[in-house]
Amino acid sequence: MKKSKFFLLALVISVVLCGCGSRKEGDNKTQEKESNSQTQTEGSGEDSSTETKVYGGSVIVGITQDLDSLDPHKAVAAGTEEVLFNIYEGLVKPDRDGNLVPAVAESYTMSEDGTIYTFSLRENIKFHDGTSVTAEDVIYSIKRCAGLLETSDPEVITVSALSCIKEVEALKGEGQKDQIQITLNEPNTELICYFTCAIVPEHIKDLEQNPIGTGPFRFVSYTPLQKFVIEKNKDYYLEGVPYLDEVTFKISANTDSAFLELSAGGIDIFPYLTSEQANQIPDTFEVKTGTMNLVQGLFLNNKKAPFDQKQVRQALFYAIDAKQILEMVGGGAGNIIRTNMFSSFSKYYNTQLDMTYSYNIEKAKELLKQAGYPDGFSFTIQVPSNYQYHIDTAQVIVEQLKQVGITAKIQLIEWSSWLSDVYKARNYEATIVGLDANLAPSDVLKRYCSKASNNFLNYENSEFDEVFAKAVATISDEEKVTFYKDLQRILNEDAASVYLQDPPLLVAVNKKLSGYTFYPVYVQDMATVYYKNAQ
Amino acid sequence: MKFFIRRFFTLIITLFFVALLTFLAFEIIPGDAALTRLGIDAEQADIEALREQLGLNQTVLYRFFRFILGAVCGDFGVSIQYKVPVIQLMSERLPVTIWLAGLSMLLILLVSLPLSLVGIESKNGKLHRIITFSNQIIMAVPPFFLGMLFSLIFGIWMKLFVPGSYPGTEMFGKFLRYMIFPAIAVALPKIAMTVNFMQSSVLAQMKQDYVRTAKSKGNSRKRILFHHVLKNALIPSVTFFAMTAADVLAGSIVVEQVFNLPGIGRMLITAISYRDFPVVEAAVLYIAVVVILINFFVDLAYQKLDPRIQITD
C-alpha cells in the first residue's frame, strides 16, 4: 500500500514536471520561425492549444534573501545564484532534464581518456555591453574560477573540482572558429558539470557594480534590500527568447510579507510558498510543484556517542516516519529519499533503496537494545533558524522519537553559527539541513570520503573510500553508474545519517503567465516565462 | 554652558561603552564574517586569505581602537557584504527610519493628548470607560501583529495600499500614503499607554491640596485642569514620552520587516546575520545617539516646565 502510494506520488510529480517542461520546448521550436507578429498560436499540445504567447510585459518575482554578490564567481547563496542565472551563462548550462546543453560554447568534445576538453565558441556571441566574447574572456573566466589567475581575489569562490586543470589555451586555426582546449592533470569525465561557471568579460573589473554576462537578460539596477531589475537582452543568440521585456526581483523581508504582497497583487511569481500558504493562495494564482533538489536529512555526527554506533543510527532511521514528515511539513509533495542522492538525478539515483527502512518502531527498539540503549537516550538537534521547513521537520521528528524513548531537543542556531560551529568545527550531535550539490554525482557523494574537508558528518568507511576512488577514476559510463549506485547503498546500509526527502518547491505563478520551468538545479529561469493572451 | 559640556562628555562616554559592548558581543557570538561570506563550499585557504584582507586576524584591541579612531573621524569603514562605505549605506536607509519614527511620534502626540483630556473630562462617563477598555486591549498588541493586521485589512481587503510595495522617497505623496500605515502600527500601542499614563497622572494631581484650594477660590473645573493640573501632570509624562521615543525606535525596527521598509532596522538584522560588523556597529551607535539626544531634550523640557528643577553645576 505504502509502496503504491509513494509511487503514485512520484508519478504525479514527474508528470507535472514533464508536463510544464518538455511540451513547451517542442512548441517553442515550431513557433520560433514565424515570430514576427506580436503573438502566435501554438500548433500542438493538448491543453494549451488555445494558449497564445505574448511577447513583452514585465513580471515581478518575490524573493526573500538579499543578493550576496552580483559577481557570479563570488555569489554563494542559492538565492543569489537562482537570480544571476538569467544574466550569466557558462560554456554549458543545464536544461530542465539535467543535461548540459551548449551555451557560450557551441559544442564540446571530451577526449576518450577524459583528460582533454575542447570547446568551440559560438560565433557572434556578445556580452551585454556589446563587446564580443573572445577566447581570452573564456580563459580568464575559467582561470578565475579555478583559482589559477596570478593575482587572485580572496572573495572569488575557488571551485576545487577545477583545480585539476593543467592548462587552458586557445586554439586558433585559420578560417576556423575559436576553440578552447582544457587539459587536465588527471582524467575526469564528470568535469563538464563545472563548466557551467559563468563566462565574464575580462575588461570589466567591477562585476559587483556592473554585472555583465551573456544571458537572456541584462542588468538594469540593484537596490540593496529592495529590488534587482533586469531587462530583455535583445541580442540573445537564441531566437525567440526571452519573451518578457523586464523582470523585477523584489526582495521581501520574509515569506510572510512576500505572501501578503502577493495577495495584494504586488508579486507575480513567488517561489518559496509554505504548504499552508499554498492552500490560501488567491484565485488569480496557481501553485506549481517541483522539488528543491536538496537532500534533506537528520545529519548525524558519526564520531559522537551514541551515533558512533551503526545500530543507533539505523534505529533512528526506523523510528522516523519520513512519510508523515512529508505530509505534515511538505503538504504531501516532495520525494522521500533514503540515501544521499537527489531523486531527480535519475541516471545515478539508486531506486532499489527507496523501500528500505520503512517505519518500524519495534525494529527501532530492538536495535537500540542491541546497541545498549534499551531506555533510549537524549540528544540535541541543531537547526539553522532561517529555514522554517527544517525547523518544522525537526518538530515532527522530536515527537516521533518519543515513541522509542529517545528525547531530542531542538536548538535553533543562526546560519553563521551553523557554518562555524556545526559545519566547520563539527561540534554537534545532529542537525537538519538540506544539502545541495553540483550536477556531478561525485560532488554529491564526495563529502562522505574519510578525508574530505567538508565531511562534517565525520563519516569513515574504507570501503566507501575505495569505491569512490574507482567511480571517479573510471571512464566507462556504465561502470560509473554502478559504482555510484553502490556508494549510495553503502551510505544507506551504514545509515550514515537519516535521509528524509527532497523537499517540495511550491511556486505561486500568476495565471496570466505560463512557461515557468523547473530545473534540477535551483534557478529561476525567466527566459521561458511569457504572458498568455488574455482573450 | 557647563551643563552642555558635561552632557557632551556623558554622551561621548556612553557612546564609547555602547561601541565596546557591541564589539565584544560580536567577538563572543560564534560565526565569522569571512566564513559566512564564502559559504559552505569555501576552501580553507580562501577563508584565511579573506580573513587577512578584512583584517580579522589582527588582535582584538587593535581592531577595536582602529574602529574607534575611524568613527571619531566619521569613517565607519566599508560594509563587508555590500562593499560600499557604511556612511553611504546608512544615509540611504536613515530617512526611512526617521520618517517612520517621526510620523509615529507625531501621531502619539496628536492623538494621545486630546484623548486623555477627553477621557478625564468625562470621568466616570461612558466615553471614559470606552477609552480605558480599548486601551487595555490595544496596549497588549505588539506592533508587528498590528502591521500584519493592517496589511490584511487596509491592504488586501480595502486596497488602500499594496503591502510590501514600498514606493521610495521620490514620490512624496505615495511615500507618505504608504508610511502612514506602519506609523500607525508603531504608534497605536504607545498611544494607548500614553493615554493611560496621562490620565492617571492627571487624576493623581487632582487629589492634591492645591486643587482643593483652587476650587474653593471658585475656579471652574476646566480652569483648574488647564491652568494648574496639566502643567504638573506633564512632568512625569515627559519622562514617559522620552521612554516611548526609544520604544518607538525599537518598534520601527520590527515593523520595517513587516512592511518591507528598507530602513535601519532591516539593514541591522541583515548585517547581523552576515556578520557585517562595520554596519552593525554604525547602526547601533546611531540608535544610541538618538536615545541619548532625546534624553537630553527631556532634561531641557523639565526645566521649562518646572523652574524648581535646576540644571546647574
Q: What is the SS3 string spanning A66-111? A: CCCCCCCCCCCCHHHHHHHCCCCCCCEEECCCCCEEECCEEEEEEC
For A247-273, the pLDDT digits (tens) are 999 998 888 888 888 988 889 999 988
pLDDT higher than threshold 80 for residue B119: no
pLDDT band at B140 (very low <50, low <70, confident <90, very high): confident
More confident site: B311 or B112: B112
pLDDT higher than threshold 80 for residue A332: yes
Euclidean distance between the first and final Cα of chain B, in Å? 10
Among A29-33, A159-163, A455-459, B297-301, the least confident range: A29-33
The pLDDT, as a whole number, for residue A41 is 36
Does residue B24 lie in a domain region?
no
For A475-485, the pLDDT digits (tens) are 888 898 999 99
pTM, full prediction: 0.82
Task: Find the helix packing angle between B143-150 and B230-258, rounded to 10°.
Answer: 60
pLDDT higher than threshold 50 for residue A21: no
Does residue B300 lie in a domain region?
no
The structural domain count of chain B equals 1
Query: Which positions in chain A touch B149 (Cβ < 8 Å)?
Result: none
CA–CA dist B143, B178 (Å, integer): 16
φ and ψ of B24, to 5 deg:
-65, -40
- Give me the residue label for grid cell 470621568: B123
Name the nearest CA neighbour of A89 among A77, A101, A107, A74: A101
The rounded mean pLDDT for chain A is: 85
Does residue B168 lie in a domain region?
yes
User: What CATH number does the domain containing B241 carry?
Assistant: 1.10.3720
| Distances in whole angstroms, Cα of residue B227 to Cα of each of A69, B123, B221, B302 | 62, 19, 10, 17
Q: Are A267 and A273 in contact (CB under 8 A)?
A: no
pLDDT higher than threshold 90 for residue A232: yes
| Distances in whole angstroms, Cα of residue A407 to Cα of each of A61, A224, A402, B84, B151 | 42, 43, 6, 47, 40
The pLDDT, as a whole number, for residue A19 is 38
Closest CA of chain B from A1, distance in Å: 40
Average pLDDT over every residue of B163-167: 80
Does residue B62 lie in a domain region?
no
Question: What sign has the CA pseudo-torsion B226, B231, B232, B233?
Answer: positive
For B48-102, the pLDDT digits (tens) are 888 888 888 888 888 888 888 888 887 888 888 888 888 888 888 888 888 999 9
Chain A segment 349-388 residues within 8 A of B by beta carbon are 386
Task: Find the helix packing angle between B230-258 and B86-121, rounded to 10°.
Answer: 130
Average pLDDT over every residue of B243-269: 86
For B208-236, the pLDDT digits (tens) are 888 888 888 888 888 888 888 888 888 88
- Please report which helix (H) or strand (E) contains residue B50, including its range: helix B44-54
The DSSP symbol for A198 reads: P
The DSSP symbol for B224 reads: I
Average pLDDT over every residue of A337-359: 88
Among A200-204, A208-212, A283-287, B206-210, the least confident range: B206-210
Does residue B256 lie in a domain region?
yes
The pLDDT, as a whole number, for residue A17 is 41
Name the nearest CA neighbour of B63 among B14, B101, B106, B22: B22
pLDDT band at A2 (very low <50, low <70, confident <90, very high): very low
CA–CA dist B186, B192 (Å, integer): 11
Q: Determine, for residues B164 and A66 on separate chains, whether the beta-carbon distance falls below 8 Å.
A: no
Q: Are B215 and B224 in contact (CB under 8 A)?
A: yes
pLDDT higher than threshold 50 for residue A31: no
The pLDDT, as a whole number, for residue A313 is 95
The rounded mean pLDDT for chain B is: 84
* 3-state class (DSSP) for residue A117: strand
pLDDT higher than threshold 80 for residue B36: yes
Closest CA of chain A from B258, distance in Å: 6
More confident site: B173 or A465: A465
Choose the closest CB to A257 out of B41, B52, B258: B258
For A60-104, the pLDDT digits (tens) are 999 988 888 899 998 888 888 899 999 999 999 988 877 888 999
Amino acid at A110: M
| A420, closest residue in chain B (CA to CA) | B31
Does residue B114 lie in a domain region?
yes
Among A428-432, A452-456, A502-506, B59-63, the least confident range: B59-63
pLDDT higher than threshold 70 for residue A36: no
CA dihedral of residues A85, A87, A91, A94 (deg, nearest 10): 30
Does residue B196 lie in a domain region?
yes
Range of the structural domain that residue B218 is part of:
93-277
For A274-291, the pLDDT digits (tens) are 888 898 899 999 999 988
pLDDT band at A1 (very low <50, low <70, confident <90, very high): very low
CA angle A516, A522, A526 (to 5 degrees): 35
pLDDT higher than threshold 60 for residue A14: no
CA–CA dist A303, A317 (Å, integer): 17
Q: Which long-range contacts (CB under 8 A, 24 or more apart) does B252-256 make?
A: B252/B97, B252/B100, B252/B101, B252/B104, B252/B182, B252/B186, B253/B97, B254/B142, B254/B143, B254/B144, B255/B100, B255/B143, B255/B144, B255/B147, B255/B182, B255/B185, B255/B186, B256/A253, B256/B96, B256/B97, B256/B100, B256/B182
The DSSP symbol for A221 reads: E
Q: Determine, for residues A157 and B258 on separate chains, whether the beta-carbon distance falls below 8 Å.
A: no
Query: Which positions in chain B touch A420 (Cβ < 8 Å)?
Result: 30-32, 35
More confident site: A464 or B46: A464
Q: Residue A98 has which C-alpha cell?
A: 539535467
DSSP A233-252: -TT-SSTT----SEEEEEE-
CA–CA dist A320, A204 (Å, integer): 52
Q: Which residues have a Cβ under 8 Å from the Cβ of B294 and sit 6 or more positions away?
A: B242, B245, B246
Name the nearest CA neighbour of A404 among A286, A262, A522, A306: A306
pLDDT higher than threshold 50 for residue A4: no
pLDDT higher than threshold 50 for residue A310: yes
**From the candidates A63, A149, A260, which should be mutated to test the interface with B, based on the most B CB atoms within 10 A?**
A260
The pLDDT, as a whole number, for residue B113 is 85
Does residue B172 lie in a domain region?
yes
* 3-state class (DSSP) for residue A182: strand
Closest CA of chain B from A205, distance in Å: 14
Euclidean distance between the first and final Cα of chain A, in Å? 45
- Say if A412 is an interface residue toward chain B (CB within 8 Å): no
The pLDDT, as a whole number, for residue A448 is 94
The DSSP symbol for A132 reads: B
